[in-house]
């Protein structure tokens, strides 16, 4: 009787440990993002895209851990026919959810750009990238589902039919992912460079938008790890799958970090812009001109997507440009905004007017349409 080979029993432990760690860490960042958004009352489409990315990522984590229960990470010759079939089935599911997770990560950050960018050129670029990412995600997902004809040949190799070259498809997918990551990463950098803000705030902006470089790094590492996918021992050489898991989990973590500014600003003064400015205080508070929030590339708030300040915005990542302009009036989309200014003046005290030591000017209402 042949001796049972257990030399590869712990070969896949490195990926199992990584997936387990991400199972604990990734949800924390997603929950923190939504708490931050709810506190600022700013839930948007980018948040729901992040939630979808998280759901697909957790699905990838789940099927990976489940596959380890059936021998994933071991030589396929050491697996029973049933266990091998289950591993290959779960691997097929992983390929589908992985592509959707990557796409939703990219979509979330692009939707955030559309939320804070008002310059037409950058908005067109963001919409274009979003459309390209969406079309590629749909096409590659369909291709993953029907990688074999009939479909069940993907996990029952003895079934008559044919499959396309998966490794070549994965290389193409990796190149597309890296190129789009770089484009998404570079898109806001030029605008930040042109902003007339102090060095600390610009560095903070560069750091916020530069978080995507971590995802790009993991995508590059996965590209080089795809060489292992050429090994016919599918269940044993799992290096590329390991980097795929890292890529999508790091992606979710990175897209959750920018919105955490609202949460951090409540506890860390470095992230609170209002605490970093020294205003000249008088008996009635600051004498500075009324302030307004404008989006990146927005000018003076006179366009269709002009500046407007909403509750909680001062504590979010959308407070990327904070301007003081006493002459511009914020205009909301397809509506009318009323701006009320308060002015305080003091009069000299005379003997006959001692009872009129101070006089307030009436409120001035400025209407803009």
Is the separation of the CB atoms in 249 and 22 below 8 Å?
yes
The parts of the chain modelled with pLDDT lower than 50 are 1-2, 274-317, 319-339, 354-369
Q: Which helix (H) or strand (E) holds 219?
A: helix 212-225
Cis upstream peptide for 150 (omega within 30°): yes
What's residue 301's pLDDT? Answer: 39
Whole-model pTM? 0.73
346 - beta bridge partners? 358
Distance CA 254, CA 180 (A): 16
What's residue 329's pLDDT? Answer: 40
What's residue 118's pLDDT? Answer: 82
Burial of 247 (0-12, 13-18, 19+ CB in 10 A): buried
Distance CA 228, CA 225 (A): 6
Torsion of Cα atoms, 80 then 81 then 85 then 91, to 10°: 40
What's residue 183's pLDDT? Answer: 93
* Contact residues for 185 (Cβ-Cβ < 8 A; gap 6+): 209, 210, 212, 213, 216
Q: How much is the CA Rg of the chain, to the nearest whole Å?
A: 27
Of the CA atoms within 13 Å of residue 89, those in its CB half-sphere come to 10
Distance CA 147, CA 117 (A): 39
Q: Which CATH number fits domain 13-264: 1.10.260, 2.60.40, 1.20.1070, 1.10.3470?
A: 1.20.1070
What's residue 231's pLDDT? Answer: 85
Distance CA 231, CA 233 (A): 5
Tokens, residue 145: 């589902």
What's residue 332's pLDDT? Answer: 43
What's residue 203's pLDDT? Answer: 81
DSSP letter, residue 337: E
What's residue 310's pLDDT? Answer: 40
Q: What is the per-residue burial (b if ≥16 Cβ within 10 Å, else e) of 296-335?
A: bbbeebeeebbbbbeebbbbbbbbbbbbeeeebbbbeeee
What's residue 299's pLDDT? Answer: 43
Query: Beta strand pairing status for 321-324 and 337-341?
Result: unpaired
Tokens, residue 168: 């070549």
Domain ranges of the chain: 13-264, 276-368
């Amino acid at each position: 009787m042949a001796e049972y080979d257990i030399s590869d029993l712990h070969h896949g432990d490195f990926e199992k440990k990584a997936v387990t760690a991400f199972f604990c860490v990734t949800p924390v960042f997603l929950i923190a993002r939504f708490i931050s958004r709810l506190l600022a009352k700013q839930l948007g489409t980018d948040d729901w895209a992040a939630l979808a990315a998280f759901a697909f990522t957790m699905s990838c984590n789940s099927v990976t851990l489940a596959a380890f229960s059936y021998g994933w990470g071991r030589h396929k010759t050491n697996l029973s026919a049933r266990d091998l079939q289950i591993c290959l089935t779960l691997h097929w599911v992983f390929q589908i959810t992985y592509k959707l997770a990557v796409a939703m990560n990219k979509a979330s950050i692009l939707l955030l750009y559309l939320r804070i960018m008002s310059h037409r050129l950058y908005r067109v670029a963001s919409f274009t990238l979003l459309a390209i990412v969406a079309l590629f995600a749909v096409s590659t997902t369909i291709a993953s589902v029907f990688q074999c004809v009939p479909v069940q040949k993907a996990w029952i190799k003895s079934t008559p039919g044919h499959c396309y070259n998966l490794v070549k498809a994965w290389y193409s997918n990796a190149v597309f992912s890296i190129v789009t990551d770089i484009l998404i990463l570079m898109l806001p950098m030029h605008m930040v460079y042109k902003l007339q803000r102090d060095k600390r705030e610009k560095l903070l902006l560069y750091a916020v938008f530069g978080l995507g470089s971590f995802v790009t790094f993991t995508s590059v590492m996965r590209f080089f790890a795809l060489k292992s996918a050429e090994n016919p021992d599918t269940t044993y050489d799992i290096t590329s799958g390991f980097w795929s898991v890292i890529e999508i989990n790091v992606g979710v973590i990175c897209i959750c970090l920018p919105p955490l500014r609202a949460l951090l600003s409540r506890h860390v003064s470095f992230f609170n812009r209002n605490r970093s400015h020294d205003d000249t205080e008088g008996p009635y508070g600051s004498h500075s001109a009324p302030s307004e929030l404008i989006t990146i590339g927005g000018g003076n708030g006179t366009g269709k997507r002009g500046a407007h300040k909403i509750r909680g915005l001062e504590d979010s990542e959308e407070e990327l440009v904070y301007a003081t302009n006493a002459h511009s009036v914020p205009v909301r989309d397809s509506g009318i905004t009323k701006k009320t200014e308060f002015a305080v003046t003091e009069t000299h005290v005379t003997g006959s007017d001692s009872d009129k030591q101070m006089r307030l000017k009436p409120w001035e209402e400025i209407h803009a349409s």
